């Protein structure tokens, strides 16, 4: 279902996504990602990336946020915002694109904020055609596979959290 979002909703969405960076657990990458999703009923639900000593076990901000929205009973969404500290703004990784797509249409807008608060907006359809990130996702998938099949099962002692 297509939705329009008001200027006021966009302001709140961006503020909440940017503020949510402060809630990230990212001691390994130090790469903070905040996200906020606006539900069809007008609620704002936030999340951030939650990392793990075993890298693939960690979760991106987008999936934390949408997971929280889903378990709160929401199924229909107006827009998603994702905020990082880098420039240009980052777009959702391949796994997140797939995760977002489960609950949204190709025209669903994703607002991406850089470290200075500037944004670009793309529909899910447009995000899906970022071939560079598809390549990156393929590469990361291989790393995930190697880790989950070969490294993590046989060397769990290596994947203890580091003392901060």
Ligand X SMILES: O=c1ccn([C@H]2C[C@H](O)[C@@H](CO)O2)c(=O)[nH]1
Judged by the rule CB under 5 A, the positions of this chain that interact with Zn ion are 60, 93, 96
Is residue 118 a known part of a binding site? no
**1, two tokens:** 């279902």
Rounded to whole angstroms, how far apart are CA atoms 23 and 76? 25
**Out of 96, 100, 124, 127, which residue is the one contacting ligand X (CB under 6 A)?**
96
Is 62 among the catalytic positions? yes
Active-site residue, from 62, 102, 116, 126:
62
**Nearest approach, Cβ of residue 6 and ligand X (Å):** 25
Nearer to ligand X, 31 or 103 (CB): 31
Distance from first CA to last CA of the chain, Å, rounded?
Answer: 45
Is residue 36 a known part of a binding site? no
Strand, coil or helix: what is 56? Answer: helix
Is residue 41 a known part of a binding site? no
Is residue 26 a known part of a binding site? no
93 binds ligand X (CB under 6 A): yes
**57, two tokens:** 């076990």
Rounded to whole angstroms, how far apart are CA atoms 51 and 94? 17
Write out the catalytic residue numbers: 62
Binding site for ligand X (CB under 6 A): 26, 29, 31, 33, 49, 51, 58, 60-62, 82, 90, 92-93, 96
């Amino acid at each position: 279902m297509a939705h329009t979002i008001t200027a006021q909703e966009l302001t709140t969405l961006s503020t909440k996504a940017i503020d949510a960076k402060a809630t990230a657990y990212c001691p390994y990458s130090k790469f903070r990602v905040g996200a906020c999703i606006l539900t069809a009923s007008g609620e704002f639900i936030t999340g951030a990336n939650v990392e793990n000593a075993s890298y693939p076990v960690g979760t991106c901000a987008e999936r934390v946020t949408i997971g929280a929205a889903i378990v709160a009973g929401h199924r229909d969404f107006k827009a998603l915002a994702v905020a990082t500290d880098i420039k240009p703004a980052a777009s959702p990784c391949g796994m997140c694109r797939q995760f977002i797509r489960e609950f949204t249409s190709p025209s669903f807008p994703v607002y991406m904020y850089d470290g200075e608060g500037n944004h670009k907006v793309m529909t899910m359809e447009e995000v899906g055609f970022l071939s560079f990130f598809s390549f990156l996702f393929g590469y990361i998938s291989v790393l995930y596979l190697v880790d989950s099949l070969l490294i993590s099962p046989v060397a769990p002692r290596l994947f203890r959290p580091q003392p901060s």
